[in-house]
Amino acid sequence: MSPLPRRLDDLSLVEASVWSNLAEAAQDRTHPWRLAVLATTDGAVADARTVVIREVDVPARRLVVYTDARSPKVAQIEAHPLGTMVVYSDPLGWQLRLSVKLGIETTGLAVWSRWAKLKMTPAAHDFLSPLPPGSPLDRPTPERGSREHFAVVTAEVLAVDWVELHAEGHRRARFDDEGARWLAP
Ligand SMILES: Cc1cc2nc3c(=O)[nH]c(=O)nc-3n(C[C@H](O)[C@H](O)[C@H](O)COP(=O)(O)O)c2cc1C
């Protein structure tokens, strides 16, 4: 995690630090922002789950998550692409609430190149279950299948809501296409 020499007073420095920490989280398994809560909706009911931030493209303001193509979140995202991702870092005291436009890719070079790397790792088993996530089982662990159900979730960040918890006073800011501004926490 990038150390903070002092409390940042400049909104552009806060925004730059937000993105450098997100980029770091995708590379460093121990970064508290490595795990995000991804919230979606089916149009009537909210849903949320933990996911791993796998990639961050800072210039494109885009995050990448991997998932099982059969998981319920995929259908939710296809029908309702606007979602929210939330991360919190205790050492930084920073919460991010990212308004995201989500997309699903199940075929194509971007999917196959990532799967080619992932299938050599233990994480591949997460995408090889013969049953879709959430299927009822008559025992604790499902059998392993051989066919992959790998999908790439892209999250284009439309807005960042940043909250800093601090003994000298909490602070909050928003970064979106209207610029950067301080908000009442
Ligand atoms: C620490 C942790 C990391 C996880 N990472 C992912 C992930 O990167 N992608 C994913 O699809 N599910 C991940 N899961 C499982 C999801 O939280 C969720 O249980 C699963 O994807 C089914 O979600 P859905 O029914 O909303 O589709 C993770 C769970 C935990 C506890």
pLDDT digits (tens, 9 = 90+) for 66-91: 999 999 999 999 999 999 999 999 99
pTM: 0.93
Give the chain's end-to-end CA distance (angstroms, integer): 24
User: Does the CB atom of residue 80 touch ligand 1 within 6 A?
Assistant: no
Percent of the chain, pLDDT > 90? 79
Nearest CA to ligand 1 atom 29: 50
> What are the beta bridge partners of residue 171?
164
> What are the beta bridge partners of residue 33?
none
Q: Backbone phi, then psi, for 43, in 5-degree steps?
A: 105, -25
- Tokens read off for 32: 């508290």
Percent of the chain, pLDDT > 70? 96
Q: Is 80 exceeded by the pLDDT of residue 157?
A: yes
Average pLDDT (20-27) is 98
User: Does the CB atom of residue 47 touch ligand 1 within 6 A?
Assistant: yes
User: Does the CB atom of residue 67 touch ligand 1 within 6 A?
Assistant: yes
| Centroid of ligand 1 to alpha carbon of 4 (angstroms) | 31
What DSSP designation does 142 have? P
| Centroid of ligand 1 to alpha carbon of 75 (angstroms) | 15
User: Does the CB atom of residue 50 touch ligand 1 within 6 A?
Assistant: yes
Selection from 43, 164, 36, 163 nearest residue 100 by Cα: 36
* Cα–Cα distance, 115 to 98 (Å, whole number): 26
Average pLDDT (5-27) is 93
Q: Is 90 exceeded by the pLDDT of residue 163?
A: yes
**Which atom of ligand 1 lies closest to the CA of 134?**
25
